[in-house]
Chains A and B, each alone.
Chain A
Amino acid sequence: MTPKTEKRTRTGIFALLAVIGPGVIAASAGNDSGGISTYSVAGAKYGYTMLWMMLAMTPSFVIVQEMAGRMGAVTGKGFAALIRERFGVRPTFLAMLMLLASNAATTIAEFAGIAAAMELFGVSRYISVPIAAIVVWLLVVRGSYRNVEKVLLALSLVFISYIVAAFLAKPDWGVVATSFVVPKIIPTQAFIALAIGLTGTTIAPWMQFLVQSNIVDKGTTVKEWALARWDVIVGAIAANVIACFIIITTATVLHPAGIEVTGAGQAASALAPLAGRYAEALFAIGLLSASVLAAAVLPLTASYAICEAFGWESGLDRSWSEAPLFNGLYTFVILSGAAVILIPGLNLIAIMLVSQVVNGMLLPFLLIFMMIIVNDRKIMGRHVNGRINNVLSWTTIVVVITLTVLLLGMTLLGIG
């Protein structure tokens, strides 16, 4: 055996496969209960009207995810650490408060998703949610969610069936295509709130933290980033394609029939063209696995980020006495998320929607932090943003803030 230097670099599909992972995982986790419900409601209530927003949002989503990943690859640090090192304690406190709010709201939505899915199987939420809370907590504490992750991800892929369902529902593709390119706004509070929610669920703030920390944990270097960015980009686009098909399916099946999505049952019935009487089961399985996965990942993301920002000890191998704040944070988010769902008489779909609106309202502020960091040459060197990135990101920030102000104004003045 003769020692030889490694001259051959891997090329082609295998090289791409080697780096694929974090982005795709983060983006598919984005199609969680909040996402499914928001897209279903959008399609059922407004038909194809909102499709143009999805098209407009896709570049922003791709760019935001790419920026987060690039920051991770260049600096080797998480988003929270960068915020702290660039801005100091006070702005960090604000940012972490926003992250925690976004995370907690979404976790509540995940438990709402679990409750809704189990109710489709005929299990009361007062039984399913406490059990789910314990299971999720154990998955996190034992660190075993990494093992189950693949399984849950595979199961949540049943949402790909929306693509098939959309074709089986035979929409008028001409109308669909027009809706993608012709912007249309209905000046009501409900529409604007839904538009904010649509943004919040598509470009969810916690996803940037997640994708960046995944890149950091994988030890992706700047050199590898040239390839790894495609993982992030492909993941983002794939997630949005599925989102569009959910809207198309619900718009074709539910909207003409005048069915409003007020419960998981109506949302599930959109899959009837594909799965017939098994539509509910199919929908419930997808919803359940996506929700459980996200309910485990979200609190942990928040816990890691906050501890990273404030220098508190973190890690699943640390005991309660070693890392009280780390363990306390995710436990608090999980338990309080589950507890909210146990309040009697809650409309689960409404909860999921509201959480996404919260996400949408917080998004621009966290994006501002990101924009300042990603354009700082001291931090990013020559990997600062290009002009297109800056223009698109600032547009997103301005548009979402405008929508939020519009919504607040309309609510206060009682318009719409």
Chain B
Amino acid sequence: MFYLTRMLGKPVVDAAGETIGAISDVAIATREVFPRVTSLAFLGPEKTPFMLSWRKFVAEIDDEQVTLNVTRDALRFSYLQPDEILLHRDLLNQQIVDTQGMKVVRVNDLKISESRHQLRLLGAEVGTRGILRGLHPTVERMAERIAKIFGAELSETIIAWNYMDLLDRDLSHVQLSVTHKRLHELHPADIADVLEQLSPAQRAKVFEHLDNTQAADTISELEDAFQADVIDDLGSQRASDILEIMDPDDAADVIGDLPYDKAEALLRLMGVEESSAIRGLLGYREKTAGGIMTPEVTTVTEEMTVQQVIEHLRGEAAENESIYYIYVTDSDSRLEGVISLRDLVVSEPGTLIADIVTKDVITADVEDDQEDVAEMMSKYDLLAMPVVDETGKLLGIVTVDDALDVLEEESAEDLELATGHRSRAGITGIWRWVSRNGWLVVWLLLALVVAATIPALLALLLAATIVLRIAEDVASHALSRVIEEEDEGEITPLWRRITGDALAGSGLGLLVGMVTGAIVWLAQGTETFAFQAGGDSAVVRMEVAVAVGLVYALSVLSVSLAGTMVARIAEGVASRGRRVSGTAITVILMIAGAVAFTGFTYLALAFVAAQGIFG
């Protein structure tokens, strides 16, 4: 048994017993499962590299040296062949993909066996033992002995050539055995697992080898956090081609996470049908039935026969994500009933749909929490669940794969919150917001502590960050609205928009204002508080608290109203076919937030001064 790290640097001796160089590398033939060593590379005098055929010139190899079968003059040097790879240059110390264990690992050593004068690569050693041997063989032996004392064995982790894919060297032009498994030949879910362990640059290289369908499947399987990154790194044309192939609900998820400019560019590159399906979905709130549904539904009418429906399925509906249920709708596309694929298959071709339809359909409302939808599907063992709006109009279906993702996601979230002992039923909108933006709350508290201990103007600068952060949120909200509205051309009347946003804005503002006010009110009771009010009267304390609370509440409200206006202007710009800069919108709203906050603070200070509180 040989290890590459022990072979490197050993002398190469010719038939006359003269040392002509030191081993620097060995090459293998790539087509075999346990590849033969085909060439020997060594450094001659003055570090000149040489390479020669193993079969022709090597007589013997042992732990100390390589002996050649001719003298130096009789050697014929060769070059690296296209189907050879070098163990030291291409494998040792490099990252490889273990396509059996679906892991990205680093090669610590290469294990080579000898049988009948033929060296063969057994595999790459990727375990800690290889590192220890690389440090020094004595270290390896010592570790082995220590392990023995504890009754453990220092095992090797070997990956056969067959299950290796290289990351830095492209194996596409090298002949491999039919059983050789490369990364892009794996199941998309496995490819996704491996991709998550790679850096963006390496990921991009892998994507070069995937065709668009594979790429679409793989992206759907990636964790949410990676999806947008991967799409963002691909070229615009390819990215939009891939998104077109993906199920619209998955594509909408990815696009929703992209920066506005990029999202808009990709949607514009797509076919009209696909892009409007995705834009339609972007309008629904995240984590609701609308957010996870797909608009690809197979619908039929009661007057059709079984035969007609089956033909419809073979024809235009064949591309749909799920065809296990066929939904029956009236002329206004209101949901009337459902038939299953089974009902269709077991019925006579001439049967009217009206005769076999089940009228009692379990449906989800588009605003329902995604977790409730998933639980209902699991309770009733449904493969898909129709989603309707308040008028009963069928909007789409939630398919079982998305429901499973939701259950998995939510159980992970629940696990995190398990210590918090949270009852699920009572989570209202505000708490949902608080739990999603927990850090903001912490920052709020922190900023107030700061505000309480240092001079007012400095506190102003620090605390304004909260408003800026909210402005950032409002901006992204406004942008997603531009994307979704641009599709239809029907723009919600401005006054309705403003009242809606004013309501939401004052809700959020009130919450922030009340929290800040309450803290300020409490803090004034303590000695360290810098805004020591002139008197101790509860009225004065209350006034200061209300003033601070109002500043926050009004700033938040102003930012959300500014968001409405900016979104409206942006829609106007976009509808004239001009591009809107997402960065510009964010910057504008942040400035608006800062100005509003500073303005209101000065007003409040003036008010407080006029009251003579700080006398």
- Bind each other: yes
Q: Which residues of A contact B (CB under 8 A)?
A: 1, 3-4, 6, 8, 10, 14, 17-18, 75-78, 81, 84-85, 88-90, 93, 142, 144, 147-148, 150-151, 154-155, 158, 161, 216-219, 221, 275, 278, 281-282, 285, 309-311, 313, 315, 317
List B contacts of A281 (CB < 8 A): 453-454
B233 lies within 8 A of A219 (CB): yes
List B contacts of A282 (CB < 8 A): 454, 458
* Chain B residue nearest to A142 in the complex (CB): B416
A285 lies within 8 A of B454 (CB): yes
* Chain B residue nearest to A94 in the complex (CB): B135
Q: Which residues of B contact A (CB under 8 A)?
A: 5, 92-95, 103-108, 126, 128, 131, 134-136, 196-197, 199-202, 204, 223, 229, 232-233, 236, 261, 265, 268-270, 272, 275, 416, 438-439, 442-443, 446, 450, 453-455, 458, 462, 465, 469, 530, 579, 581, 583-584
List A contacts of B223 (CB < 8 A): 317
List A contacts of B199 (CB < 8 A): 76-78, 216-217, 219
List A contacts of B204 (CB < 8 A): 219
A14 to B108, CA, bound (A): 45
* Chain A residue nearest to B168 in the complex (CB): A85
* Chain A residue nearest to B468 in the complex (CB): A154
A216 lies within 8 A of B201 (CB): yes
Distance between B333 CB and nearest chain A CB, rounded to angstroms: 24
B93 lies within 8 A of A88 (CB): yes
Given A3-B269, A85-B93, A89-B131: A151 and B453 interface contact (C-beta under 8 Å): no
A154 lies within 8 A of B465 (CB): yes
Most chain A CB neighbours (cut-off 10 Å) among B196, B223, B268? B268
B583 lies within 8 A of A4 (CB): no
B201 lies within 8 A of A219 (CB): yes
* Other contacts beyond A10-B261, A144-B439, A310-B131: 7, CB < 8 A: A6-B236, A81-B95, A150-B469, A158-B458, A158-B462, A278-B455, A311-B104
A77 to B201, CA, bound (A): 8
Distance between B62 CB and nearest chain A CB, rounded to angstroms: 23
Distance between B175 CB and nearest chain A CB, rounded to angstroms: 25
B455 lies within 8 A of A275 (CB): yes
List B contacts of A144 (CB < 8 A): 438-439
A61 to B367, CA, bound (A): 54
Contacting residue for A154 out of B462, B530, B584, CB 8 A: B462
List A contacts of B232 (CB < 8 A): 219
Q: What is the interface of chain B mostly: helix, strand, loop, or mixed? A: helix
A148 to B444, CA, bound (A): 12
Distance between B269 CB and nearest chain A CB, rounded to angstroms: 5
A-B contact pairs, 6 of them (CB 8 A): A1-B268, A1-B272, A1-B275, A77-B199, A88-B92, A221-B201
A84 to B134, CA, bound (A): 12
A84 lies within 8 A of B93 (CB): yes
List B contacts of A161 (CB < 8 A): 458
B268 lies within 8 A of A155 (CB): no
Distance between A49 CB and nearest chain B CB, rounded to angstroms: 31
* Chain B residue nearest to A378 in the complex (CB): B89
B268 lies within 8 A of A4 (CB): yes
Most chain B CB neighbours (cut-off 10 Å) among A77, A89, A93, A161? A89
Distance between A102 CB and nearest chain B CB, rounded to angstroms: 21
Given A147-B439, A278-B455: A313 and B103 interface contact (C-beta under 8 Å): yes
A51 to B462, CA, bound (A): 30
A147 to B473, CA, bound (A): 14
A155 to B199, CA, bound (A): 31
Most chain B CB neighbours (cut-off 10 Å) among A76, A78, A310? A76
A311 lies within 8 A of B200 (CB): no
A6 to B458, CA, bound (A): 44
List A contacts of B202 (CB < 8 A): 76
List A contacts of B458 (CB < 8 A): 158, 161, 275, 278, 282
A18 lies within 8 A of B201 (CB): no
A379 to B233, CA, bound (A): 22
* Chain B residue nearest to A322 in the complex (CB): B103
* Chain A residue nearest to B8 in the complex (CB): A88
Distance between A337 CB and nearest chain B CB, rounded to angstroms: 23
List A contacts of B469 (CB < 8 A): 150
* Chain B residue nearest to A17 in the complex (CB): B583
Distance between B473 CB and nearest chain A CB, rounded to angstroms: 13
A151 lies within 8 A of B201 (CB): no
A4 to B233, CA, bound (A): 19
A93 lies within 8 A of B465 (CB): no
A285 to B56, CA, bound (A): 74
List B contacts of A217 (CB < 8 A): 199-200
A344 to B454, CA, bound (A): 31
Distance between B219 CB and nearest chain A CB, rounded to angstroms: 15
Given A4-B268, A76-B200, A77-B199: A151 and B465 interface contact (C-beta under 8 Å): yes
Most chain B CB neighbours (cut-off 10 Å) among A148, A151, A217, A311? A311
A18 to B587, CA, bound (A): 12
A17 to B201, CA, bound (A): 22
Distance between B430 CB and nearest chain A CB, rounded to angstroms: 19
B581 lies within 8 A of A14 (CB): yes
Given A1-B275, A76-B202, A311-B106: A278 and B530 interface contact (C-beta under 8 Å): yes
List A contacts of B530 (CB < 8 A): 278
A4 to B265, CA, bound (A): 9
Contacting residue for B200 out of A85, A219, A285, CB 8 A: A219
A158 to B438, CA, bound (A): 24
List B contacts of A311 (CB < 8 A): 95, 104-108, 126
A147 to B105, CA, bound (A): 30
List A contacts of B583 (CB < 8 A): 14, 17-18
A4 to B578, CA, bound (A): 12
* Chain A residue nearest to B464 in the complex (CB): A154
List A contacts of B454 (CB < 8 A): 275, 278, 281-282, 285
A321 to B92, CA, bound (A): 26
A315 lies within 8 A of B197 (CB): yes
Distance between A410 CB and nearest chain B CB, rounded to angstroms: 34
* Chain B residue nearest to A84 in the complex (CB): B93
Most chain A CB neighbours (cut-off 10 Å) among B199, B229, B439, B442? B199
